[in-house]
C-alpha cells in the first residue's frame, strides 16, 4: 500500500507512525491497534503462512508410491543431518556381524517371546530388526536403527529418533492468544459468551482458534462483537488433512489442518491432534489418504492443538506445546508472550 495513503489513514484515526513501522505496514504486515498516539514497530505484526496441506480429491496408486518415497527421503535427510553415523542402505547388509546403522520405513510390528521384531524397508530392499523392546513406534514411521549386521536380519538393535535439536527458545515481540473452537456450536451460548468476555479482558495482538467452529455465522458474530480489531487465524478439527472453514470477515484467516505459520518470526504449528512423540519422530501421524508428507522439517517454536481434549501446556526442549481443550470438556485459553516465552493459562468461569 502507498505510504502516503497509510499515513493519511492513520492520521484520521489520530495516530502517528514511526518510519520503521511505516515500512513494515507498507510491505503488508498487520497492524495492532495501539492505545498510544504513536505506532511503533512493536505495534506491527508479521504474519506469514509457511505451509498448508490440502487433500487431493482423487488419489491414484502412483500418489501412494510417490508419497512414501517423498516421506522416506525427507526423513532420511533429517536423520542423516541429526545423527552423525555411517548409514548404509538395506541392500548393503552383508552378515559380517559388525555394528551397522540403517534407515527404514516400519512395515510390520510383531511381538515375540523374547522381544519385538520390526520389518523395515527402504528404496533398495527389506530387513527384519530384532529388539528387546520398543517405545512409541508405529507402522509407516521412518526410523534409524543401530544393531548387529546379520544379513537380512539386524540383531541387538535399538532405535535412534531424529528428534528436535536442543537450543535456546526463539523470542520476539508480541503476544498471541490461543483458544479452542472445538465444541463452539454445541456448548451453551452463555459458556461461549463468558469465554470471549474473559479473553477480551486480556491484552494480546493475535488469536488462533483451533478446532472447527461448525457454525461460522455465529462465530463471526462473536468475533465482530469482541475481537473486531484482532487478527484471527482458524484451524479446523476434523481428521487431517482438512480444508479451511469459510468466513467472510476480513480479520479472519482460515488455515488448513495442519498448518505452519510465522508470527513475528516465531514458527507456529497448528494441528488438531498432537503428541510429544511427534517431535521426537519429526513426523505427524500420517493419514491413510496420502498428502504431502507430514514431516516436521521446520522445527516449530510453538505447537497448538485441541486433541486429546485435555487443556495443558508443556515444553519439549525449545518448543512450547499448547493444548487448548474443548468447550465441551475443559477449555483453557492460553496467552504466550513471544518476547519472554512466558505462558498464561486463563481459567474460564463455569
Q: Name residues whose C-beta falls within 8 Å of residue 324's C-beta, 6 or more positions apart in sequence.
A: 178, 179, 180, 182, 210, 211, 304, 305, 306, 311, 331, 332, 333, 334
Residue written as cell 512466558? 342
pTM: 0.89
Q: What is the pLDDT of residue 238?
A: 73
Strand partners, 329: none
Every domain of the chain and the residues it spans: 3-44, 46-57+165-345, 84-160
If you classify domain 46-57+165-345 with CATH, what class do you get? Answer: alpha beta
Q: What is the pLDDT of residue 329?
A: 83
Q: How far apart are CA 193 and CA 51, in angstroms?
A: 32
Nearest by Cα to 236 from 215, 206, 257, 264: 257
Q: How far apart are CA 253 and CA 43, in angstroms?
A: 19
Q: How far apart are CA 77 and CA 103, in angstroms?
A: 10
Q: What is the pLDDT of residue 239?
A: 76
Q: How far apart are CA 209 and CA 179, in angstroms?
A: 5
Phi, psi at 160, each rounded to 5°:
-115, 120
Pairing mode, strands 302-305 and 16-17 = unpaired
Q: What is the pLDDT of residue 88?
A: 97
Residue 267 · residue 302 · CB < 8 Å: yes
Burial class (CB in 10 A: 0-12, 13-18, 19+), 290: buried
If you classify domain 84-160 with CATH, what class do you get? Answer: mainly beta
Two domains, one topology: 46-57+165-345 and 84-160: no
Residues of the chain with pLDDT under 50: none
Amino acid at each position: 500500500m502507498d505510504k502516503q495513503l497509510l499515513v493519511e489513514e492513520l492520521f484520521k484515526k489520530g495516530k502517528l507512525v514511526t518510519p520503521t513501522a511505516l515500512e513494515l505496514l507498507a510491505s503488508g504486515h498487520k497492524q495492532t491497534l495501539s492505545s498510544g498516539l504513536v505506532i511503533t514497530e512493536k505495534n506491527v505484526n508479521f504474519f506469514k503462512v509457511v505451509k498448508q496441506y490440502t487433500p487431493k480429491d482423487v488419489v491414484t496408486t502412483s500418489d501412494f508410491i510417490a508419497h512414501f518415497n517423498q516421506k522416506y527421503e525427507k526423513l532420511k535427510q533429517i536423520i542423516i543431518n541429526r545423527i552423525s553415523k555411517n548409514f548404509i542402505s538395506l541392500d548393503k547388509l552383508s552378515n559380517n556381524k559388525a555394528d551397522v546403522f540403517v534407515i527404514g520405513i516400519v512395515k510390520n510390528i510383531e511381538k515375540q517371546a523374547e522381544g519385538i521384531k520390526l520389518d523395515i524397508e527402504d528404496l533398495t530392499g527389506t530387513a527384519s530388526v530384532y529388539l528387546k523392546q520398543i517405545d512409541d513406534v508405529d507402522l509407516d514411521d521412518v526410523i534409524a536403527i543401530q544393531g548387529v549386521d546379520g544379513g537380512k536380519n539386524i540383531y541387538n538393535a535399538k532405535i535412534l529418533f531424529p528428534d528436535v535439536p536442543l537450543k535456546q527458545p526463539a523470542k520476539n515481540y508480541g503476544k498471541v492468544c490461543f483458544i479452542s473452537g472445538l465444541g463452539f456450536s454445541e456448548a451453551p451460548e452463555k459458556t461461549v459468551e463468558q469465554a470471549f468476555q474473559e479473553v477480551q479482558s486480556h491484552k494480546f495482538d493475535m488469536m488462533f482458534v483451533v478446532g472447527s467452529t461448525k457454525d461460522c455465522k455465529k462465530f463471526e458474530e462473536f468475533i465482530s462483537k469482541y475481537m473486531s480489531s484482532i487478527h484471527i487465524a482458524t484451524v479446523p478439527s476434523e481428521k487431517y488433512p482438512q480444508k479451511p472453514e469459510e468466513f467472510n470477515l476480513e480479520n479472519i484467516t482460515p488455515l488448513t489442518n495442519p498448518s505452519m505459520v510465522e508470527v513475528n518470526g516465531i514458527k507456529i504449528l497448528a494441528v488438531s491432534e498432537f503428541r510429544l512423540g511427534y517431535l521426537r519422530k519429526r513426523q505427524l501421524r500420517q493419514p491413510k489418504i496420502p498428502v504431502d508428507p507430514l514431516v516436521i522439517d521446520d522445527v516449530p517454536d510453538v505447537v497448538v492443538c485441541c486433541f486429546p481434549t485435555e487443556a495443558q501446556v508443556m515444553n519439549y526442549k525449545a518448543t512450547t506445546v499448547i493444548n487448548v481443550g474443548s468447550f465441551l470438556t475443559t477449555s483453557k485459553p492460553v496467552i504466550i508472550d513471544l518476547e519472554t516465552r512466558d505462558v498464561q493459562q486463563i481459567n474460564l468461569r463455569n
